[in-house]
Structure 1
Amino acid sequence: MDERGLNRVVEFMTEQKLVMATAESCTAGLIVSELVSIPGTGQLLDSGLVVYSPEAKQRYLDIDDALFEQYSLTSEVIARAMAQGALNNTHATVTLANTGVAGPSAGDDGTPVGTVCFAWAFRFDSGDVVLSETCRFDGDRNEVRMAAAHYSLNRISHYHQQASQSTQAS
């Protein structure tokens, strides 16, 4: 994602009056770093959490220990819980969360390098909507992390539209 792409994200967030928080595992703060590389984005950001360990995810995002026993750390279930936890513990109206395996080797459970699970949570007056997906990126560790950060930012408008439509249908 180039500066033009980041500017489109910033414009969309500004138009929609979105304030972001992140719960980043795989990207380790790159989402926030990329967003704030555009001048004037301070009003769009509530906070950015880097939560690598299950203990940090529990402590800062209130994720139930049972989820870690039942699901892989690299799963959409964990990503969704991270996004919801960030939404519940901040003043954000949109949260981005990710968990994955950037490399250099596969995850403890055999999850392939480059696998990243994402979640986007949106807060509307009518309630919260959490959407998720899993992607696989090529490249070395840092290329995977940067691709994941850009991907999550680039998908905000897509998932905001989906979330908005689902609240209108309810």
Structure 2
Amino acid sequence: MTTIEDVAQFMRTESLLLVTAESCTAGLIAATLADISGAGKLLDCAFVVYSPEAKKRCLSVSQETLERYNLTSEEVAREMAQGALGGSRANVAVANTGVTDDTDDAIPAGTQCFAWAFEMGGSAAAPRMFSETRRFSGDRTAIREASAQYALARIPYYFSRLA
């Protein structure tokens, strides 16, 4: 597995500046990257948007998307990533939304939806977007930590698919 140090070096090499849009991880993705020396050149800002209202207000997630797909969905994660890019100077966004416990009968505990958005062609070009859903096991803390690590580790993977 890719270490966070490897991800940071990759981001430096590719001149990537990150913004996060975090629900379930509540800032842990940004905090994990911030543990790396020199993180100030890699991380622009982080949006922690736990409630549906915050997702709408801060990141322009639409009510229609929330109603149609549920809070724990790739569609919501994609809108979160798009909104985060629009509210920052970053050229890559990582978004996460999900559940860590049995709060929703229809969604298993540990389900996490992610989106990665890359803005590589200037403001006129639409960001390239990738998303996926994963399920992690363990207690609440273990799920959040695994989610944060996974979100960062996938940056090089999806960046390589831009060409």
Query: How high is the TM-score relative to the length of structure 1?
Result: 0.90
TM-aligned CA deviation for residue 39 of structure 1: 1.0
Gaps of 5+ in 1: 166-170
Specify the alignment match of 1:98 in structure 2. 96
AA of the residue aligned to 2:134: C
- Tell me which protein shows more helix as a share of its residues: 1
AA aligned to 2:157 is: H
> How well do the aligned residues superpose, as a CA RMSD in angstroms?
1.3
User: C-alpha deviations, 1:119-148, integer Å up to 9, x for none?
Assistant: 000001143101000000010001000000
Instruction: Give deviations 1:44-87, integer Å, cap 9, x for gaps.
Output: 11101110111100111011211111111000000011011111
Count of aligned pairs between the two proteins: 160
Structure 2 partner of 1:119: 115
Structure 2: tracts of 5 or more residues without a match: none
Task: Give the alignment partner of residue 106 of structure 2, picking from 104, 110, 117.
Answer: 110
SS at match of 2:70: coil
Please give the alpha-carbon distance, in whole angstroms, between the structure 2 residues aligned to 1:154 and 1:43.
18
Identity of aligned residues (%): 49
Equivalences for 1:71-86 in 2 at 5 Å? 71-86=69-84
Q: Quote how far apart the aligned CAs of 1:106 are.
A: 3.6
**After TM superposition, which residue ranges in structure 1, 4 or more long, deviate above 6 angstroms?**
none
Q: TM-score, normalised by structure 2?
A: 0.94
Q: Would you say 1:58 and 2:56 are equivalent positions? A: yes
Matching residue's letter, 1:85: G
What is the aligned partner in structure 2 of residue 168 from structure 1?
A: none
Partner of 2:144: 145
